[in-house]
Copies of this chain bind each other. A is one copy, B any other.
Amino acid sequence: MSQDAYSEGDLRNTGMALRHDREWDYELERIIDEIEERDATKVGLQFPEGLKRRGPAVADDLRELCDDDVTFLLSGQPCYGACDLDTYLMRRTDVFVHFGHSPMKESDKIIYVPLFSNVDPFPIMEESLEELDDPEENPDVGLVTTAQHMNLFEDMCEWLEERGFEVHTRRGDDRLTHEGQVLGCNYASADIDADQVLYVGGGKFHPLGLAMEHPDKNVVIADPVNNVVTIADTEKFLKQRYGAVHRAMDADKWGVIFCTKIGQGRWEKAQEIVENNENAYLITMDEVTPDRLRNFNMDAFVNTGCPRITTDDGPRFHKPMLTPGEYEIAVGNEPLENLEFDTFHGTW
């Protein structure tokens, strides 16, 4: 994935380099109300990576609206999802605002500001009709999207229904806040009774996970950010993963990564692996980066944390890194054909 040249619909083209300008609603008034209600003097603001550069301006606007004794702190911790909650900053501020992701778990301590995209998805949905079955022949279609387009989900459903489709949606499980929402690590909302699913959103990772999780379904991608319609193709992904599994098969020493981020811990899984392999060592960390693993003299790694790190960033690591399921294949406990996309369920 990460080795490929940039292409249309590429995950890396979103956020920092958009074709369409976006204006976000930072819900300043809601934040100010909370600050006043709680007599807050310390306010933490956490933005996803692609929006961190907007943080100072948001802090400026909030300062203007506040008493002088309020100090704003911008989180500098990496943030790619609601599981990347900056718990240090959260615990040490009177009001803590997490921008751009929907709540993985509600908490009085956290104000979630969703930052819905203002890109119009309907022109690209119009184009996507060419890739969906004719509703007269097969009206059943699943519909999923990401948090930033959630505000238009009902409209998207209606739009499809007006064109003769029977739209199947579900909320999925606890980890998902909204009906029809997908995360990079959870596609339970696509467990619907239709053999085609329309994914409306940017990036390649989400629809890829979707296609891996639902190999029996045709996954049509309507990307309103990069203005392109494609069909999810798992072949390259599978090839990369088979390659990683094969390279790890000769490994003697395994580093088993337990991620300490609040939404990414799978302790039982990590412990199960080390209990059954005397050459496996538990390594704990928050950010899983190539630099941090280089100093451990291991032959391969199993990452029980975020699957996007394993599969999307995998090639950047000096040794093969596998998901827990892939590990079972590499050590011979499971056959190669059982290779699956790694997903997370539940919250914390």
Chain A 53-76 near chain B by CB (<8 Å), digits 1 or 0: 101100100000000000111111
Give the distance to chain B from A168, nearest Cβ to Cβ, in Å. 38
Give the distance to chain B from A276, nearest Cβ to Cβ, in Å. 12
Q: A56-B296, A287-B287 are in contact. Are A281 and B76 (CB under 8 A)?
A: no
- In the complex, whether A32 has a CB less than 8 A from a CB of chain B is no
User: For residue A48, which residue of chain B has the nearest CB?
Assistant: B295
User: For residue A88, which residue of chain B has the nearest CB?
Assistant: B260
- In the complex, whether A316 has a CB less than 8 A from a CB of chain B is no
Which chain B residues lie closer than 8 Å to A49 at the CB level?
295
Please report whether the interface of chain A is mostly helix, strand, loop or mixed according to DSSP.
mixed
Which of B74, B281, B298 sits near A284, CB closer than 8 Å? Answer: B74
A78 with B292: CB separation less than 8 A: yes
What's the number of copies of this chain in the assembled complex?
2
A53 with B88: CB separation less than 8 A: no
A284 with B253: CB separation less than 8 A: no
Give the distance to chain B from A89, nearest Cβ to Cβ, in Å. 6
Give the distance to chain B from A37, nearest Cβ to Cβ, in Å. 23
Which chain B residues lie closer than 8 Å to A77 at the CB level?
284-286, 292
Q: A76-B292, A88-B284, A287-B287 are in contact. Are A271 and B71 (CB under 8 A)?
A: yes
Which chain B residues lie closer than 8 Å to A72 at the CB level?
281-282
A-B contact pairs, 27 of them (CB 8 A): A44-B284, A52-B295, A53-B296, A53-B297, A55-B296, A56-B298, A59-B281, A71-B271, A71-B274, A71-B282, A72-B281, A72-B282, A74-B282, A74-B284, A75-B283, A76-B257, A76-B283, A76-B284, A76-B285, A76-B293, A77-B292, A78-B291, A78-B292, A88-B284, A89-B260, A89-B284, A287-B287
11 further interface pairs, Cβ-Cβ under 8 Å (given A73-B283, A73-B284, A88-B284): A44-B284, A55-B296, A72-B281, A73-B282, A74-B296, A75-B283, A75-B284, A76-B283, A76-B288, A76-B292, A89-B284
